[in-house]
Structure 1
Amino acid sequence: MTTVQETAAVRYGMWVLCPAVGAAAVWGLKLAAAWVAGLSWFPFQGVFELVTEIPEPWASIGAPVVGAGLGFVFALIWAADMLSVEVSHERVALKKDDKRFEFDRGEVESAFTEGKQLVLLGPNGAELARESSDLSARKLEQAFTGQGYRWREVDPFADDFRLWVEHTPELPPDVNGLLAARKKAITRYEHEEAAELAREIRKRGVYVKDTKKRQYYRCEP
């Protein structure tokens, strides 16, 4: 079995780096607050004036604590978005956050990357999975071909995708509703919500991908 995931330095280092960067950033904000508050043209003056009004030693103690907390939250979001891929002769497993998706060998016809997304296709052209990650496309290709799976350079169904607009006539009302909800999630940068909605849409035989915040879809072959 071959496993492709972020390096140990990234997986473990982010829990130290993110809080440290957050603490340093908020500490820097605290140091610059008095100077910025004196610049009448600078936006968000109220925020900087509020910072200067916090008494010592609470300002000096609170700044790094708050910054570290914000950094820790960022690390949690980052960890939840990491994808781990296990490829063996028997099956392919994708793990993200607390979710695990498994596909038997016979279900997977081929795999490819499109931008930062890993896509798995079934023998009938069905899209089994489309998951975002920062994993190396070269390492993913090596993992799949090393276990005997077919790797594609491009999506063979790329020309079948169409731009989605509200109330698309050929789509059922429930799919149009899910796509409308997903559009809102994309606009709000709610990436996991958008990914979960895409999985729900896939269960209904419709496959969706994004280009510049626009949704494109194709229907099950």
Structure 2
Amino acid sequence: MGERALIWGGFPLVGAVLGWLLPIVADWAVSLPWFPFQGPLELAAGLPAPAATVGGLILGVATGVVLALVSESEYTTVTVDDNKVTLRNDTATRTVERADVTAVFRDGAALVLLGPDTGELARQGGDMPAQERLRAAFRRHGYPWRDDGDPHAEHYQRWVEDLPDLSASAHALLKARARALEREDRSDAEQLRSELAGLGVVLRDREGKQFWRPAPPDSR
């Protein structure tokens, strides 16, 4: 709650300060012919002082509120109790039963929950509570939180085309996912990750490269 309150209070406040400074910056910028956006800046610099100040404040606060709304829409709430874990954001809600969880850890920015068959029950990236808060919550309710990350890390290997250990279907999906990563299509990459999990392929990404390890099919 404290982190979210900081965003809702901080973004509009920073926006208000920047908006208040806008007339001053505009006066300075219009004196530089090479500075971009000369038209809007001349308009801002030409406004009378009270109107320019009030307008800048309103614009700054509004921009801060919009940024806070965007941040809120991308934020994942993690609710942990003795029986289950619930991951909730604007686009989806996922619940994982405590009895199914054998490991919980952070993989970069993602929160990962593993099941008894070593497959991923959930992988959630994006904005969420800080790692210290997550660790405390999971341990308080008896979940196997691991500071050392994935307990099966040594089984990952880098994917390259035509590896004999993978099926033709898995290779096709990995090729498609490599293209999605190149064009930074996160939604498509995550959908393909789920399809690969159905084939018994667990993934993690490192610097744009895909690393995989086997797990029983349909582990999710």
- The answer to whether residue 90 in structure 2 is matched with residue 97 in structure 1 is yes
- What is the identity percentage for the equivalent residue pairs of Structure 1 and Structure 2? 26
- Pick closer, same or farther for the CA change 1:195–1:131 going to 2, 3 Å: farther
Corresponding letter in the other structure for 1:197? A
1:197 to 171, 189, 199: 189
Cα deviation, 1:49-77, whole Å, max 9, x if unaligned, reads: 53123442554443223222221221122
Distance of 1:172 and 1:158 partners within structure 2:
21
The aligned counterpart of 1:110 is 103
Match of 1:121 among 114, 119, 131: 114
The amino acid of 2:61's aligned partner reads: A
**2:183 paired residue number:** 184
Pair 1:32 & 2:2 matched: no
1:75-101 per-residue CA deviation (whole Å, 9 max, x = no partner) reads: 122212322222223221112234211
Q: Residue in 2 aligned with 1:157?
A: 152
1:123 CA drift (Å): 0.8
Residue aligned with 2:183, SS: helix
Segments of 5+ residues of structure 2 without an aligned counterpart are 216-220
Matching residue within 137, 151, 160 for 1:143: 137
Q: TM-score, normalised by structure 2?
A: 0.75
Quick one: structure 1 residues 211 and 134, their matched pair in 2 at CA, closer, same or farther if it must change by over 3 Å?
A: farther
Q: CA separation in 1, counterparts of 2:143 and 2:137?
A: 9
Report the counterpart of residue 188 of structure 1 in structure 2: none
Against the structure 1 CA distance between its residues 208 and 194, is the aligned structure 2 distance closer, same or farther, given a 3 Å change threshold?
A: farther
In the alignment, structure 1 residue 70 sits paired with structure 2 residue 60: no
> 2: distance between equivalents of 1:71 and 1:210?
33
Consecutive unaligned residues of structure 1, counting only runs of 5 or more, are 1-7, 186-192
CA–CA distance in structure 2, aligned partners of residues 47 and 157 of structure 1:
53
Name the counterpart of 2:172.
173
Letter paired with 1:78: S
Say yes or no: does 1:56 pair with 2:50.
Answer: no
Q: Which residue identity lines up with residue 53 of structure 1 in the other structure?
A: L
Offset of residue 33 of structure 1: 1.7
> CA–CA distance in 2 between the matches of 1:211 and 1:82?
23
Partner SS state of residue 3, structure 2: helix
How far apart are the structure 2 equivalents of 1:199 and 1:110?
23
Question: Alignment partner of 1:145: what SS?
Answer: helix
1:218 aligned to which of 205, 212, 216: 212
- Aligned with residue 36 of structure 2, among 46, 68, 72: 46
Partner SS state of residue 99, structure 2: helix
Cα separation, 2, equivalents of 1:217 and 1:195 = 19
Displacement, 1:122?
1.0
Distance 1:25 1:116 in 2: 30
- Change in 2 beyond 3 A, CA 1:146/1:177: same
- Between structure 1 and structure 2, the one with the greater Rg is 2
Indicate if the aligned counterparts of 1:108 and 1:121 stay in contact, CA closer than 8 A.
yes
CA RMSD, 1 decimal: 2.8
